[in-house]
A and B are shown apart, each in its own frame.
Chain A
Amino acid sequence: MSMEAITDKHGVKRYLITLNVNGDSYTKVVKGNTVLVNVLRDDLDLTGTKKGCELGDCGSCTVLMDGKPVNSCLVLAVEADGREITTIEGLAQHEQLDRLQDSFVNHAAVQCGYCTPGMIMSAKALLSKNPDPTEQEVREAIAGNLCRCTGYVNIVKAVLAAAKAEGGAAR
């Protein structure tokens, strides 16, 4: 890493990073081992991104980094320097919900809701590159996101319906 470190009087190295989150620029001082999810939640108060396992197994902390879905618990904050991050808070535009958010509400794809932000971000990444996915493609794209409440059925329905709505609007 070419980044310059500042060493504090206890000998701990810290790095100055600049993140672009949901269109806003933030400059923060982080340790080398600080993970992105903690910067988002603790430093920026963007608590919509959830932590479910901190091992990359559950997908609750999924955000978009330069448009690609990542487990933000596995991304070091220094690796996110200069990148564009989109979190669940950045999805609605001018109070207008994203179609996926609408669709999750209307298809009862939300129960306890803890996995929901991560699910929606994974689905967003899918629809951005594949606006008209098959059911199988939806299942594969979100296979890294665990849900204990819904049995996934309504989530698949919600994503497919959002894709359809999106396609309909574009045509």
Chain B
Amino acid sequence: MAKVLEPESGGVALQAVGKRLPKLDALDKVQGKAVYIHDLKMPRMLYGKILWSRHAHARILNIDTSRAEKLPGVRAVITGYNTPEIKVGFLKDNPVLKKDKVRQYRDEVAAVAAESLEIAEEAVRLIEVEYEPLPAVFDPVEAMREGAPLIHEEKGSNILKLPWKLICGDPDEGRRQADFVVEETFLLPWVTHCCLGTSGCLAEFQPGGNLTVYSPTQIRYLAQRDFLEAMAALGLKDKRVRVVSTAIGGAFGSKLDTYPFEFITILLAYYAGRPVKLVFSREEEFFATPARQKVEAKIAQGCTREGRLTFRDVEMVLDNGAYTSWGATTPSVMMMPISSLYKVPNVRYTARCVYTNNIYATAMRGYGNPQATFAIESQIDALAEQAGFDPLEFRMLNANTAGEVTPQGFKVGSCGMKECLEAVRESLNWNEKRGKRNGRGVGVGSLIHVGGGARIYKSDACGTIIKLDDFAKVTVMSGATDMGQGSDTVIAQIVAEELGVCIGDIKVIMGNTDLETWDVGAHASRTTFVAGNSALYAARSAKEQILALAASLLNEPQEDLAIKNSVVYSRRNPAVSMQLERVLRAAHFKTGGTQIVASHFYDPPTQMLDKEMKGNFSAAYTYGVHGAEVEVDRETGRVEILKYVIAMDVGKAINPMLLEGQLEGGAAMGIGYSLMENLQTEKGKVLNPNFLDYKMLTFADMPEITSIIVETGERFGPFGAKGIGEPPLVGSAPAIANAVYDATGKRVRSLPLTPEKLLFDADGSEERGGE
């Protein structure tokens, strides 16, 4: 159960915000009525299927599609040779259908649309491809060496031209000032999202050449733009693309980019002249969907005798895989904990992303932060020990505080880090349990994450339109995306609170680019903050319009009027009142009447990072602390989590019940990352593309979670709220690794913390790679 440490602020009793309300679409979902991409069917719809590469790196000498084309029921067969070239990814290095060569087993070589999935699968088997295998490289460090096989020859190097670099203060001087220094190397494995609903989309061209794509995307509007590029490649100029969201069967960052399969589906629909749906099998989902990448992190930190951090120096190599998606930009987020987790005046960070013949890297919940925080927070423990401090005390000493400006230029508004540390200390019974080395131990891992959007594009905005009907029912059209996290409900609560109506009178519509206004996407834990503020200001504007109307109807000054329980009343004289629906009807049913429609485009007050990668790129920062008590079996090396606690400074809990769901779900993903998840590859081939071999947490593995909600009231947040989507898994791995160290004295520097490592490989730094 969660407890809230801070009382509601402001003195005004809130009606909808802060309430434990069920998720709005849960009623559909428990009845099996929500429509996912897998459930969607159109008249005359065809089924798409992709032929994947048989090699990690090879020239394509010939593709013979003649037998597939002759199979009855086949309506289109496409390859890179009979379609216009379309390249995707932000570096445009990923042709949607590979021509001349393949760089990974996951590469799309051809695709088919047919009357049934069975026929499509058969047709794909009939396509003959002649390959000439090429030398391949799977280790990013090897890939950086002179003479390594080049993944993209035209680039001349496997190192991406994205030299991530951040220097704050004087890190060398910081090192000289340190009385204690710890230097280590940490290794993190490939892991993947494991959405229960696999990826897929449905493309349909309208007779005039306009396109509709049904998709569980996290980025409706950016996808719309990407798909327009495909239209241009097909010679379809000045046409419209409409992106319609289906229910999303899990996303976690996996649907934050557009991928070749979506463009292939569009091409198939275009050439077949029929709607085409393409949905991944579970195996395809495992090997073809980009994942959270493998990282090698060398890190050094130092402190004075008094326990003050003097510097942090981090150098990383990231496996980019064969193509570039958002994975290559995760160092921009890794910089955040590296520069700003605790007060550390001197910081250096460099990161290289390297092409290999592996699967490729994209966003996954935390966006680099879990990897960076594992290294930083594991080492904070080691440094504390070396300097002779209790690790939790050491964190208290260096904790972030409200009002500080971090070396990277983050302006910290609210900050409950110390409160979170205290709460975890108490919950874990830290002072009693720590330092026994008897097979049981406790550990913590703190975190910082963006909590007020993240200006990674020129805009970090979200649009909202609100309208009210004759019966005071409210329709909120939001550009935001709900992928299960509860944004629909949170937005409704914010609007209900501001408009003074009950939540049952609100319908939130999201998911159609023809209807709602623009949003940058569901990423960076931004939806509650950015879409929430957008909805709040739109509701405020609607309220002002309503009160202006009511002022003339009631003959009262507008500033005295308020709305509560769908009644407009005078605050000075509550007897003067009118039902909200009567106000609205009075507006509609008269000569020269009017309608209540309000809109707002909210862009948070932030800056893009400058050339030195500095600036206040989020309007708020979320802090939290994970704590774990573990028992390590001496015989088997198995780690059991006895207690798990998360204390999170969320600013304000708009819906504590859904918030707990985020904390518990994030913790489960974080515990999986810590203890068992590992997308294993051998020479580029994914070895465990199923749930039996890729271990994620089950009911049996899930410990009890104690969620502690700390409310600090963020000045810019809607009703004081900050974002929370990603933080619940960011601190898991170091908390557990630190607890394992406390239990056993063994410091494991690579994930996952498998029994073998605890029995045979106490020093994970000696081992390179997870393969």
A residues in contact (CB < 8 Å) with B: 41, 46-55, 57-58, 60, 87-89, 91-92, 97, 100-102, 104-108, 110-117, 120, 138-140, 142-156
Instruction: Report whether B32 and A117 are in contact in the complex, using a CB–CB cutoff of 8 Å.
Output: yes
Shortest distance from the beta carbon of A138 to any chain B beta carbon, whole Å: 8
Instruction: Report whether B197 and A116 are in contact in the complex, using a CB–CB cutoff of 8 Å.
Output: no
Shortest distance from the beta carbon of B196 to any chain A beta carbon, whole Å: 4
A57-B692, A140-B700, A145-B699 given as contacts; is B31 within 8 A of A150 (CB)?
A: no
Which residues of chain A are within 8 angstroms of B702 by Cβ–Cβ distance?
139, 151-153
Q: How large is the interface on B (under 10, 10 to 19, 20 to 34, 35 or more residues)?
A: 35 or more
Instruction: Report whether B282 and A142 are in contact in the complex, using a CB–CB cutoff of 8 Å.
Output: no
Whose C-beta in chain A lies nearest to the C-beta of B216? A112
Instruction: Report whether B665 and A146 are in contact in the complex, using a CB–CB cutoff of 8 Å.
Output: no
Query: Cα distance A55–B31 when bound, in Å?
Result: 24
A51-B38, A104-B30 given as contacts; is B665 within 8 A of A149 (CB)?
A: yes
Proximity string of chain B (691-707) to chain A, C-beta cutoff 8 Å, 1 when within and 0 when not: 11000111110101100
Which residues of chain B are within 8 angstroms of A114 by Cβ–Cβ distance?
36, 195-197, 249-250
Instruction: Report whether B33 and A48 are in contact in the complex, using a CB–CB cutoff of 8 Å.
Output: yes
Query: Cα distance A112–B34 when bound, in Å?
Result: 10
- Sample of 16 further A-B pairs with CB below 8 A, known A54-B282, A148-B194, A152-B702: A41-B39, A47-B39, A48-B32, A54-B281, A58-B282, A92-B31, A105-B26, A108-B658, A108-B660, A110-B30, A112-B247, A112-B248, A139-B702, A142-B699, A151-B669, A155-B699
Instruction: Report whether A150 and B664 are in contact in the complex, using a CB–CB cutoff of 8 Å.
Output: yes
B residues in contact (CB < 8 Å) with A: 22-23, 25-36, 38-39, 193-198, 247-252, 281-282, 483-486, 657-658, 660-661, 664-669, 690-692, 696-700, 702, 704-705
Instruction: Report whether A154 and B661 are in contact in the complex, using a CB–CB cutoff of 8 Å.
Output: yes
Which residues of chain A are within 8 angstroms of B665 by Cβ–Cβ distance?
111, 148-151
Instruction: Report whether A148 and B699 are in contact in the complex, using a CB–CB cutoff of 8 Å.
Output: no
Query: Cα distance A52–B692 when bound, in Å?
Result: 13
Query: Cα distance A48–B33 when bound, in Å?
Result: 6
Instruction: Report whether B247 and A47 are in contact in the complex, using a CB–CB cutoff of 8 Å.
Output: no
Which residues of chain A are within 8 angstroms of B29 by Cβ–Cβ distance?
110, 113, 116
Which residues of chain B are within 8 angstroms of A48 by Cβ–Cβ distance?
31-33
Q: List 8 A-B contacts (CB under 8 A).
A: A46-B32, A89-B32, A101-B30, A105-B30, A113-B25, A113-B34, A148-B665, A149-B484
Shortest distance from the beta carbon of A110 to any chain B beta carbon, whole Å: 4
Which residues of chain B are within 8 angstroms of A155 by Cβ–Cβ distance?
699
Query: Cα distance A53–B486 when bound, in Å?
Result: 25
Shortest distance from the beta carbon of B581 to any chain A beta carbon, whole Å: 27
Query: Cα distance A144–B26 when bound, in Å?
Result: 22
Which of B32, B251, B665 is the most central at the interface, judged by chain A CB atoms within 10 Å of its CB?
Answer: B32
Query: Cα distance A89–B282 when bound, in Å?
Result: 25
Whose C-beta in chain A lies nearest to the C-beta of B32? A48
Which residues of chain B are within 8 angstroms of A51 by Cβ–Cβ distance?
38
Could you say which of A50, A139, A151 contacts B196, with CB atoms under 8 Å apart? A50
Shortest distance from the beta carbon of A115 to any chain B beta carbon, whole Å: 5
A111-B23, A148-B196, A151-B697 given as contacts; is B692 within 8 A of A55 (CB)?
A: yes
